[in-house]
Structure 1
Amino acid sequence: MKQTNKTQQYDVAVIGAGSAGLQAALTLGRMRRSVVVFSTDRFRNDPAEHMQNFLGHDGTPPAELRLAARKDIERYESVEFVERAVVAVAGEPDAFVVSVDGSPDVTARRVLLATGLADELPDVPGLTDLFGTVVAHCPYCHGYEFADRRVGLLGAGPHIPMLAQLMSRLASEVVVLTNGAEPEPEVLAAIKALRLEMHTGPVLGVEETEKGLKALLDYEHTVDLGGMFVAPTWRQAAPFAEQLELETGDLGGIHVDIMGATSRPGVYAAGDLAHHRDLPMPMASVLTAAAAGLVAGAACDRDLVMSDLAAVVTAT
């Protein structure tokens, strides 16, 4: 694995070096594809101290997995890394141009986007500081760590009853904090049927405690919790979906088919930023991101193979 700043054409430009991008690079490197991977020091799961529910890596810090992956890729000389941010992507199959901050442009036959999503949290003071530890958004990634604790659910949306029922096997008690919002009648009926404690006032702030956190509801009333789940708003962490005019869904993910192909020929997407049309939401976990990177990387390779095969057949 070499470092490069030279202008040249690659088979595939992989933009993003989280689990999806690194796995795509590994898959392509094993097929001796010339690959350039653009990496920065910012990752969606930076707030998380450990990643969970990943076979063989349960409880491993995310940075350790990325470091191990980079070492794996070092075996494959056709993969190069550029430790700079990409600012723009344009072009078409076999002629994409990747503009890089502080470095010459790179051209590529195919582009694989793996820049992830950004989480926009509810505007509650203190929430950002606790996100990734005692505040989380995925019960499959962090729910077990809140086991046998009193767990708060922040919000009043339609997801609250399902999340409450899901956490009922783990938490000692589930508490709903609507943060001043009024639940829809069917949501309120489900909360009552589940006999959940509910607080409807605004949450003025959250603070870490020895056993978790406390939510401040007014200047005299706090709710002690062992953990809290929130529902962030998702947005693309990079501008490339808009630049390339890719089809996106209501939740902000780039629409892809089962092989990771986007609505624009030659452009693939993998990881949290991508959303298969038949799934209710992006499958946001390190393991699914890596799996998507493998599939999209292989799809890029097959796409190039078929393009080259067609050219050979046409020429004979």
Structure 2
Amino acid sequence: MNETYDVAVVGAGAAGLQAAQTLGRMNRPTVVLGTDRYRNDPATAMHNFLGHDGTPPAELRTAARADLEHYASVDLVEAEVTTIEATDHGFTLHTSVGDVAVRRVVLAMGVADTLPDVPGLADLWGDLVAHCPYCHGHEFTGQHVGLLGADASLPLRAAMLERIASHRVVLTDGVELDADVADTLKRMGVEVRTEPVTGVGPAGGSLEVLLDGAAPVPLGGLFVHTTWAPTAPFAEQLGLDRSPVGAIIVDALGRTSRPGVYAAGDIAQQAGLPMPMAAVLVAAAAGMAAAASADRELAAEDNGIALPM
């Protein structure tokens, strides 16, 4: 690994690899620093990605890495970044294989999910258990589909499944629903089960939800709300503005509140949106925008050209 690059891309998922390709096509000296841990590893296939519907996530990353071999200005380094600090000339990244100095940083390290504390849920996560109907809902077409939780978003989440599921059931895990939420679900024809959930397990190619004191509920698929957190503390280290849900706030070009730092992928949230747009295709597009923004600013800086805001 060289000691100095123009840009460091932190993270080697869809956002980071697309950022690297964009920078490589501009012959911009770039290092991609990543590990072998990815948010969508549990998923057998990714969906709702033009030309790649049903492709295993690892295959997309392998193809993207192969593409990067055509660009001599890009180095891919398997390394974990521990700290990023600002310097007089840019940034220094402290990694598991040494330090690297750069002028710009693209943060694309992603987030990690924490599932509800239900036995067996993690074993089915990514296929029969999911959190995004746009990514995994179609595969449950014509089946009984469950929603685990008791929050105010349930009516909208259930409505999104209206054309997919033959039957919808909310499993509140012992929590009483708000009266307005319960009334709305009843009007929509959504079944509600309030018994405590004791576990989830496979059942003949589908799954079943085990309830305390009641018969199991057979389902074709189950949607859950996860809690997530960044996989690294770089936003705190760099003093970046974050949204109420913890994502790094960016503009349409991927720029953060700190000049020289960009963010893309599941960790980034455009101002005005309620949450990050967590999808592989969106992450890749955001990586391209952030990389182009970084390259454009460096080109202007090196030639004394003022850029419009």
TM-score band by shorter chain is over 0.9
Whole-angstrom distance in 2 between the partners of 1:40 and 1:180: 39
Q: 1:137 to 1:261 in 2, by over 3 A?
A: same
Aligned residue type for 1:15: V
SS of corresponding position for 2:303: helix
In the TM superposition, what is the alpha-carbon distance from 1:112 to its structure 2 partner?
Answer: 0.4
SS of corresponding position for 1:10: coil
Could you say which residue in structure 1 is the equivalent of 2:191? 197
Whole-angstrom distance in 2 between the partners of 1:19 and 1:153: 28
In the TM superposition, what is the alpha-carbon distance from 1:234 to its structure 2 partner?
Answer: 1.8
Q: Deviations over 1:255-299 (max 9, x none)?
A: 111110111111100000001111121111110000000000000
Moved over 3 A (4+): none
In the TM superposition, what is the alpha-carbon distance from 1:215 to its structure 2 partner?
Answer: 0.8
Could you say which residue in structure 1 is the equivalent of 2:39? 44
In the TM superposition, what is the alpha-carbon distance from 1:181 to its structure 2 partner?
Answer: 2.0
In the TM superposition, what is the alpha-carbon distance from 1:227 to its structure 2 partner?
Answer: 0.4
Whole-angstrom distance in 2 between the partners of 1:171 and 1:108: 50
Query: Which 5+ residue runs of structure 2 have no aligned equivalent?
Result: none
Whole-angstrom distance in 2 between the partners of 1:220 and 1:188: 21
Q: Deviations over 1:1-30 (max 9, x none)?
A: xxx2x4x21110000000000000000010
More displaced 10-residue stretch of structure 1: 56-65 or 89-98: 89-98
Could you say which residue in structure 2 is the equivalent of 1:27? 22
Could you say which residue in structure 2 is the equivalent of 1:173? 167
More displaced 10-residue stretch of structure 1: 24-33 or 209-218: 209-218
Q: Deviations over 1:46-73 (max 9, x none)?
A: 0000000101000000000001111111
Could you say which residue in structure 1 is the equivalent of 2:294? 300
User: Which of 72, 81, 89 is the matching residue for 2:84?
Assistant: 89
RMSD: 1.4
Whole-angstrom distance in 2 between the partners of 1:127 and 1:306: 51
Q: 1:14 to 1:93 in 2, by over 3 A?
A: farther
In the TM superposition, what is the alpha-carbon distance from 1:92 to its structure 2 partner?
Answer: 4.6
In the TM superposition, what is the alpha-carbon distance from 1:210 to its structure 2 partner?
Answer: 1.1
Could you say which residue in structure 1 is the equivalent of 2:241? 247
Whole-angstrom distance in 1 between the partners of 2:87 and 2:195: 52
Could you say which residue in structure 2 is the equivalent of 1:67? 62
Contact kept in structure 2, 1:270 and 1:293, CA below 8 Å: yes
Whole-angstrom distance in 2 between the partners of 1:200 and 1:81: 50
SS of corresponding position for 2:103: strand
SS of corresponding position for 1:125: coil
**TM-score calculated relative to the size of structure 1:** 0.94
**TM-score calculated relative to the size of structure 2:** 0.96
Q: How many residues align?
A: 306
**1:289 counterpart = 2:283:** yes
In the TM superposition, what is the alpha-carbon distance from 1:94 to its structure 2 partner?
Answer: 3.5
SS of corresponding position for 2:170: strand
Residue identity (%): 55
Contact kept in structure 2, 1:93 and 1:265, CA below 8 Å: no
Contact kept in structure 2, 1:92 and 1:265, CA below 8 Å: no
SS of corresponding position for 1:26: helix
Q: Deviations over 1:125-157 (max 9, x none)?
A: 111111101000000000001111100000111
Aligned residue type for 1:178: T
Whole-angstrom distance in 2 between the partners of 1:127 and 1:80: 38
